[in-house]
């Protein structure tokens, strides 16, 4: 099922106005204009122009938009930039609660992943393994909604304990014994909070943005190249030096990558530079909008 990007334009405009106040009306109009320009370019198959317009809209937004991330990922996929396509589609999955958008993003990620695997096998680059159920569970536990759920359970436990204390102060029988429910809420709160906290403490995840990126044995281009990563590969950031990230890839491989070649999934959104390295064109994913 195709997902339209026109539906959320008003909501995005209102978000801009709410965050920035009345002077943001012009900015909201500019966001809508950029979206419309991107949709028109996508309808014509001009994916370079569509990408540029969507990036312009993203630069104007004070908050992330799941639909915008999806459109950017799909536009980059059509433009054969597999790393950037993976980065934005993964961000769309992190942001959205829309089941239709989630399904479309998963479908497009599958197309991009297959093309990345083919390219990696052709040019002998390394691609991280596809996420298994443990990685998906850990990612789900680190989602903001899980933290909010834990907080809600904690407050519910406190509120129920306060009600129980109130009834005991009145020296009148309570309508029910709240203690088992209080204990259950406390256990659930503790379990979810600990799991969420541990998930947030994992090393940050990043996506390789360019078609092929050399991984060096140390932070410097003069250091020996250990291996080459395929665009779209997922890595964990385990260290840093000025202009460089130390990364860990599935299988225990590690090395150093220039910072500009990585998109950090949990970082605040900033427009990414366009890649000058062409890659094989992927099979046509779902349209970014109708």
What is the token pair recorded at 120?
A: 């990696």
Q: What is the DSSP letter of 22?
A: G
Report phi then psi at 108, rounded to 5: -65, -35
Do 157 and 233 reside in the same domain of the chain? Answer: no
CA–CA separation, 37 and 147 (whole Å): 37
Tokens linked to 221: 């281009």
Residues 158 and 145 occupy one common structural domain:
yes
Residues 169 and 180 occupy one common structural domain: yes
Q: Is 218 among the domain residues? A: yes
Sheet of strand 254-258: strand arrangement: 225-230, 212-216, 254-258, 244-248, 234-241, 205-208, 262-264
Asked if residue 105 belongs to a domain, the reply is yes
Q: Is the pTM of this model over 0.85?
A: no
Instruction: Return the residue matching tokens 């009145």.
Output: 170
Residue 194 gets the label, from left (phi > 0), alpha (psi -120 to 50) or beta, of alpha
Q: In sequence order, what are the residues at sequence separation of 6 or more whose Cβ sits closer than 8 angstroms to the Cβ of residue 161?
A: 178, 182
- Domain CATH for 45: 1.25.40.10
Total number of domains in the chain: 3
Same domain, 230 and 158: no
Instruction: Mark which of 76, 93, 123 sits at the end of a domain.
Output: 123
- Do 180 and 214 sit in the same domain of this protein? no
Taking the CA atoms of the chain, what radius of gyration do you get in angstroms?
A: 23
Q: Is residue 275 part of a domain?
A: no
Q: Cα dihedral angle (264, 268, 270, 272), rounded to 10 degrees?
A: 10
Q: Is residue 20 part of a domain?
A: yes
Task: Please report, in tens digits, the pLDDT of each residue of the chain (290 residues total).
Answer: 333 343 444 444 434 434 444 455 556 788 888 888 999 999 899 999 999 999 998 888 877 788 899 999 999 999 999 999 999 999 998 888 888 998 999 999 999 999 999 999 998 888 877 665 566 666 677 677 788 888 888 898 888 888 888 877 776 666 667 788 888 888 888 888 888 777 666 678 899 999 899 999 999 999 999 999 999 999 989 899 999 999 988 777 899 999 999 999 876 544 444 443 333 334 345 544 43
In a domain, residue 178? The reply is yes
Q: The domain containing residue 242 runs over which residues?
A: 203-264
43 within some domain: yes
Residues 167 and 229 in one domain: no
Residue 75 within any structural domain of the chain = yes
Residues 6+ apart with CB under 8 A from 247: 206, 215, 235, 236, 237, 238, 254, 255, 256, 257, 262
> What is the rounded CA–CA span in Å between residue 101 and residue 107?
10
Q: Residues 21, 107: one domain?
A: yes
User: How many C-beta atoms lie closer than 10 Å to residue 193's C-beta?
Assistant: 17
- What per-residue confidence (pLDDT) applies to 276? 39
Same domain membership, residue 213 and residue 196: no
Which pair of tokens denotes residue 24? 């943001």
What CATH number has the domain bearing residue 231? 2.30.30.40
Q: Are residues 52 and 91 in the same domain?
A: yes
Q: Does residue 249 lie within any of the structural domains?
A: yes
Residues 223, 117, single domain; the answer is: no
């Amino acid at each position: 099922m195709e997902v339209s990007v026109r539906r959320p334009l008003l909501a995005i405009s209102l978000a801009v106005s709410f965050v920035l106040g009345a002077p943001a009306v012009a900015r909201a109009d500019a966001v809508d204009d950029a979206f419309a320009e991107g949709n028109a370019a996508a309808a014509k198959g001009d994916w370079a122009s569509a990408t540029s317009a969507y990036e312009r809209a993203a630069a104007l937004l004070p908050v992330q938009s799941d639909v915008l991330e999806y459109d950017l990922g799909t536009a980059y996929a059509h433009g054969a930039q597999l790393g950037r396509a993976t980065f934005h589609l993964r961000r769309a999955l992190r942001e959205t609660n829309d089941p239709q958008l989630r399904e479309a993003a998963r479908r497009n990620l599958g197309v991009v992943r297959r093309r990345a695997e083919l390219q990696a096998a052709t040019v002998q680059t390394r691609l991280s393994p596809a996420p298994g159920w443990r990685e998906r569970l850990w990612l789900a536990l680190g989602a903001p909604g899980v933290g909010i759920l834990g907080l809600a359970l904690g407050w519910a436990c406190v509120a129920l304990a306060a009600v129980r204390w109130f009834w005991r102060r009145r020296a009148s029988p309570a309508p029910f014994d709240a203690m088992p429910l209080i204990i259950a809420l406390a256990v659930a709160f503790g379990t979810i909070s600990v799991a969420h906290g541990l998930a947030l403490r994992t090393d940050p995840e990043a996506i390789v943005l360019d078609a092929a990126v050399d991984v060096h044995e140390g932070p410097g281009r003069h250091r020996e190249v250990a291996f080459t990563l395929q665009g779209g590969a997922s890595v964990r950031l385990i260290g840093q030096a000025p202009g460089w990230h130390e990364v860990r890839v599935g299988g225990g491989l590690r090395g150093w990558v220039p910072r500009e070649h990585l998109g950090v999934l949990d970082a605040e959104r900033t427009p990414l530079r366009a890649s000058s390295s062409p890659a094989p064109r992927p099979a046509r994913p779902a349209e970014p909008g109708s």
